[in-house]
Amino acid sequence: MLQMTKKLTLPSVLLPLVCCGPGAGTKVVGHSWTRQVEVLQYKISTGIDWCDQVPAGAQILSQENQIRSHEKISDGQTCKPGRKRCLDIAARCIPSPECQGGEKSNQECQEQCTPGYQECVMGDPICTPKYKDVPVWSPKCTFTLSRWNHSRWETASGRDQLPWWPQLHPLCSLEQEGCEKEGERKAIYKAELRDKNGTTFSYNLEEEEWKTLQVGSKWMRNIADRIP
Query: What distance, in Å, lies between the first and last C-alpha atoms of the chain?
Result: 72
The answer on pLDDT for 54 being more than 50 is yes
Pair 38, 153: CB distance under 8 Å: yes
How many Å apart are CA 190 and CA 207, to the nearest integer? 9
Residues making up the chain, counted from first to last: 228
191, 193, 190, 189: which is closest to 24 by C-alpha?
A: 193
Strands 59-80 and 126-158: antiparallel
Q: Is 209 helix (H, G, I), strand (E, B) or coil?
A: helix
Instruction: Output the pLDDT for position 18.
Output: 31
User: Could you state, in order of their start, the residue ranges of all structural domains in the chain?
Assistant: 71-135
How many Å apart are CA 142 and CA 145, to the nearest integer? 10
Higher-pLDDT residue of 206 and 103 is 206
78, 51, 76: which is closest to 62 by C-alpha?
A: 51
- The sign of the CA dihedral 89, 91, 95, 97 is positive
The answer on pLDDT for 107 being more than 70 is no
Pair 42, 144: CB distance under 8 Å: no
Q: pLDDT by residue (tens digit) across 119-146? A: 888 888 889 999 999 999 999 999 999 9
E strands of the chain, at which residues? Answer: 27-50, 59-80, 84-89, 92-95, 111-114, 117-122, 126-158, 180-194, 200-205
